[in-house]
Amino acid sequence: MKIMVCIKQVPDDSVKIELDESTGKPSVEGVEPIVNAFDTYALEMAARFLETGIEGEITTITMGDENSKSSIKNCLAVGASHGYVLHDDLFEGSDAQGTAYALGCAVRKIARDEGGDFDIVFCGIETSDETSGQTGPMLAESLGYSLVTNVIALEKKDGVLHVKQETEDGYNIVETPMPCVLTAARPNYDPRYPTIKSKMAARKMPIGELSAADIGARSDKTGESASLVKTIELAAPPKRKAGIKINEEDIEEASLKAFSIMTDANVL
Amino acid sequence: MTDRNVFVYIETADGESVKVGPEMLAPAREAAGGGKVTAVIIDAQSDQAAEKALIYGADAVITAACEAAPPENTVGILTAMAEKYGPDIIMIGSTPAGRETAPRLAARIGAGCVTDVNALDITDEGIVWTTPLFGGTILENVGISTDVQVVTIRSGAFKCGEAGDPSGEIIPEEIIMQDGDVKTKIIDSVVEISEQVNLEDAEIIVTGGKGMGTEEDFQKIQELADVLGATVGATRPVIEAGWTSRAHQVGQSGKIVSPKLYIAFGVSGATQHITGMIGSDYIVAVNKDEDAPIFDVADIGIVGDAKKVLPIFIEECRKLKGI
Ligand SMILES: Cc1cc2nc3c(=O)[nH]c(=O)nc-3n(C[C@H](O)[C@H](O)[C@H](O)COP(=O)(O)OP(=O)(O)OC[C@H]3O[C@@H](n4cnc5c(N)ncnc54)[C@H](O)[C@@H]3O)c2cc1C
C-alpha cells in the first residue's frame, strides 16, 4: 500500500491573521509556520491505517518555497517515510486548479521513480489560510481517480478499501476502488507528537526537490498566467461597532447591568 | 449591463431544498442582469423544491429524476447539463456535498471556481466575488476569467428574496450518466445524531464553550435556551469532550450562523469559532479572561465567571417572559 499525503505549510492557525493595511497583505510576518491541521489529520489517519498490519509506506509532498522543508521534516517525524518539496517560480500565483495540476504531475512522477502507483492520495479537506477546499477534489479530477471527502477513518476489508465518511448526522461507510483521492476531516483524536528519537531520525532523512521541469508541468496549466481565478484585492471585513465591556467586582451587579442593556436594545 | 444565464443547483434532502438553495436565487438574479435564472434539481421527488425555486425567483427549473444523488452523480449530471445549456454561471450551495461538487465540475468543464462566496459586486469588468481567507479575518475579492464561472455560496450569506407566484417552466431532463461516472459506493449509512438542531434558522443561539468547566454546568446552557426559545450552540472542544453532539457545533467546521442574538458563555473566540458566528446581529459574551478575543466582536462583554452569570440570566429571563 502506497499512500501519498499532500500537505501545505500555513501560518500558525491559533494566531489571528489580519490585513496589514500598509502592505495590503495578510499579517503573517513572524507567525510560526505549521503543517495545515487537516493535513496532519490525513497523515495521522494514514499512519494508523498502516499500523493495523498493512504493509506500506507514506510519502508526503508539499508545493511551497524552501521553507516548507521544515514542515516536510515534521511529517517525516510522525509517520512519513519519504518527503518532497515541489518548488518552482513557475508555480507562483497558481490557483487551485494550477496547484492540483502540478501536484497531479508530481504524484505521477514520484510513482514512476519509486516504482508503482500510489493507492491513496490523501489531502486535508481545506487549509486554514485559503479555506477554499478545492485542491483535493480537483486533484482527483486531474488524476482521474475516485474521490471520498470528509474522511475520518480507513479500513481494508477483504482487499477492498472502506472509508468512513463523516456526514451531518453520523457517518457513511464508502467503498472505493484504488487508486483514490481522499480528503480528511477531523477524527476524534489528536495527531501524535514526534519523539526526540523520531525527530533525530527525520533530520537525517533526505527530502526530494522537484521543479516544474522535473515533473513535466506545462506553463499553460499552472502558475499565475494559467490561473483562472484572479485576486483583485484583499480587504478587511467591516468592523463591528465597539461594544460595552462590563468588568465589575460584583458579578450579580455586572450580570444585571448587562441584562438591562439587552432588554433596552430589544434583543430578548 | 451584461446579461448572463445563471444555473443554480439546488441540493435537496428528503425532497426539500437545503437552506442555502432558495437563498442563492437572490445573488443569482443580481448576477443575471437581464439573463435567465434556472434552478437545477436532481432528485426523484423534486416537486416541492421546484415550486419553492419558482416562488423565490427562478425563471425556470430543470429537474432530473435520480434516486439519491451523491456528489459523483451530481458532477456527471451537471457537467452534461452545462454542456447542453451553456450557462455563464453555475451557483452551488457551500454544503459538504456542494464543496465537493463545485471544484470537480469546474475541473471537468475547464471553468474557474470560487468557493464560499458571501458577497458579489457587478462591475463593468465583470463579477467580483468575495470569499473569506483565514476563516474570515480577511476578505478576498476575486474575478473568474473563464467563460463559465462556478461558485459556491455560503449558507446565510444572502437572505431569500420576496416570495412571488410560482410561475415558470419546469423542464424534466433525461439523465445521461457516462460509464465510470460513479466509482464509489455507500455500503452503510449510520445515523448517530437523531436530534434535530436547526442552528442556521435560529433567532437566538446560546453557546457554551470549554470554559463552562463540566458537562453538568454545560447542560445549564439548555435551561437558558429553553426559557428564551433559543437553540444551543457549542465550540469544538465541547463536542470533543462529549458534552453534546456535533450537530451543535458553530464555526469553520460546524455551522455558519446568523441569529439576531448570540450569547457565548466561556468561549475564547478562536478565529475558527468567530467565523461561524460573526454574522450575528447582536453578540453577548461572558468570559473570565478580560483579554479573550471573543470580546473584540461582542456588543456586550461581561468579564467574569460564566457559571455565576448563567443562573442570573436564567432567572432574569424567566421574570421577563413570565415563566
Ligand atoms: C481546522 C480547525 C477547525 C476548527 N473548527 C472549529 C469550529 O468549527 N468551531 C469551534 O468552536 N472551534 C473550532 N476549532 C477549534 C478552535 O481553534 C478553538 O480551539 C475552539 O473554538 C476553542 O473553544 P472554546 O472557546 O470552547 O475553548 P477554549 O479556547 O479552551 O476557551 C475557553 C474559554 O473559557 C474561558 N473560561 C474558563 N473558565 C471560565 C469561567 N468559569 N467563566 C468564564 N469563562 C471561562 C477561558 O478564559 C477561555 O477563554 C477548529 C480548530 C481547527 C484547527
Quote the ipTM score. 0.96
Q: Which of A168, A173, A177 sits opposite B187 (nearest CB)?
A: A173
pLDDT in tens, B53-78: 999 999 999 999 886 557 888 999 99
pLDDT in the model for residue A91: 97
Average pLDDT of A172-193?
Answer: 97
Residue B176 pLDDT exceeds 80: no
pLDDT in the model for residue B281: 95
Distance from CA of A234 to the nearest CA of B (A): 5
pLDDT in the model for residue B68: 59
Residue B180 pLDDT exceeds 80: no
Average pLDDT of B278-286?
Answer: 96
Shared domain check, A264 and A206: no
Residues of B in Cβ contact (< 8 Å) with A237: 132, 136-139, 278
Shared domain check, A243 and A221: no
Question: Which atom number of ligand 1 is nearest to the Cα of residue B268?
Answer: 49
**Single-letter amino acid code for the residue at A167:** T
B19 within ligand 1 shell (Cβ under 6 A): no
pLDDT in the model for residue B174: 84
Least confident of A235-239, B28-32, B54-58: A235-239
Secondary structure of B59-109 in HEC code, one letter for each residue: CEEEEECCCCCCHHHHHHHHHHHHHHHCCCEEEEECCHHHHHHHHHHHHHH
B235 within ligand 1 shell (Cβ under 6 A): yes
Is residue A104 situated within a structural domain? yes
Q: How many Cα atoms occupy the beta-carbon half-sphere of B141 within 13 Å?
A: 15
For chain A, the distance separating the N- and C-terminal CA atoms, rounded to the nearest angstrom, is: 58
Check if B6-181 and B204-321 are the same fold: yes
A with B: how many residue pairs have Cβ under 8 Å apart? 245
Q: Check if B269 contacts A (Cβ < 8 Å).
A: no
Share of chain A above pLDDT 70, in %: 100
Is residue A233 situated within a structural domain? no
Q: How many Cα atoms occupy the beta-carbon half-sphere of A235 within 13 Å?
A: 16
Average pLDDT of B126-148?
Answer: 97
Residue B100 CB: number of other CB atoms within 10 A?
A: 28
φ and ψ of A129, to 5 deg = -85, -55
The full set of domain ranges for chain B reads: 6-181, 204-321
pLDDT in the model for residue B172: 95
Is B260 in a helix, a strand, or coil?
coil
**The CATH number, out of the four listed (3.40.50.880, 3.30.499.10, 3.30.465.10, 3.40.50.620), of the domain defined by the range B6-181:** 3.40.50.620
Collect all residues with Cβ–Cβ distance below 8 Å to A127 and sequence separation of at least 6: A8, A10, A36, A38, A39, A135
B246 within ligand 1 shell (Cβ under 6 A): no
d(CA B237, CA B214): 12
Collect all residues with Cβ–Cβ distance below 8 Å to B40 and sequence separation of at least 6: B7, B8, B9, B10, B61, B62, B63, B64, B78, B81
pLDDT in the model for residue B72: 85
Residues of B in Cβ contact (< 8 Å) with A229: 112-114, 142-145
Residue A238 pLDDT exceeds 70: yes
- How far is the CA of A249 from the CAs of A253, A262, B149, B304, in angstroms? 8, 20, 56, 9
d(CA B54, CA B36): 12
For chain B, the distance separating the N- and C-terminal CA atoms, rounded to the nearest angstrom, is: 56
Going from the Cα of B310 to the center of ligand 1, the distance in angstroms, rounded, reads: 18
Residue burial B21-46, b: 16+ Cβ < 10 Å; e: rest: bbbbbbbbbbbbeebbbbbbbbbeeb
Looking at the DSSP bridge assignments, the partners of residue A25 are: A20
Shared domain check, A251 and A188: no
φ and ψ of A142, to 5 deg = -65, -35
Going from the Cα of A7 to the center of ligand 1, the distance in angstroms, rounded, reads: 25
Residues of A in Cβ contact (< 8 Å) with B190: 170-173
Element (DSSP H or E) covering residue A111: helix A96-114
pTM over 0.90: yes
Least confident of B70-74, B81-85, B311-315: B70-74
Q: Do the beta carbons of residue B272 and residue B252 sit within 8 Å?
A: yes
The answer to whether the Cβ–Cβ distance between A256 and B312 falls below 8 Å is yes
Least confident of A145-159, B170-184, B309-323: B170-184
d(CA A263, CA A239): 24
Shared domain check, A255 and A147: no
Shared domain check, A182 and A149: yes
Is B195 in a helix, a strand, or coil?
coil
Domain B204-321 has CATH 3.40.50.1000: no
d(CA A207, CA A190): 26
Quote the number of domains for chain A. Answer: 2
Residues of A in Cβ contact (< 8 Å) with B183: 146, 176-177, 180
B252 within ligand 1 shell (Cβ under 6 A): yes
Going from the Cα of B242 to the center of ligand 1, the distance in angstroms, rounded, reads: 14
Shared domain check, A222 and A242: no
d(CA A209, CA A85): 5
Query: Virtual CA dihedral for B207, B211, B213, B219, nearest 10 degrees?
Result: -10
Is B262 in a helix, a strand, or coil?
strand
Collect all residues with Cβ–Cβ distance below 8 Å to B25 and sequence separation of at least 6: B8, B37, B39, B53, B56, B57, B58, B160, B161
Q: Kindly write down the DSSP assignment for every residue of B227-240, as one continuous string.
A: HHT-EEEE-HHHHH
pLDDT in the model for residue B104: 97
Is residue A231 situated within a structural domain? no
pLDDT in the model for residue B69: 59
Question: Which atom number of ligand 1 is nearest to the Cα of residue A186?
Answer: 1
Shared domain check, A94 and A219: yes
Residue B179 pLDDT exceeds 70: no
Range of the domain at A189: 2-226
Set of cell numbers at residue A236:
478587511
Least confident of A64-68, B264-268, B281-285: A64-68
For A190, nearest residue in chain B (alpha carbons)? B240
Is residue A232 situated within a structural domain? no
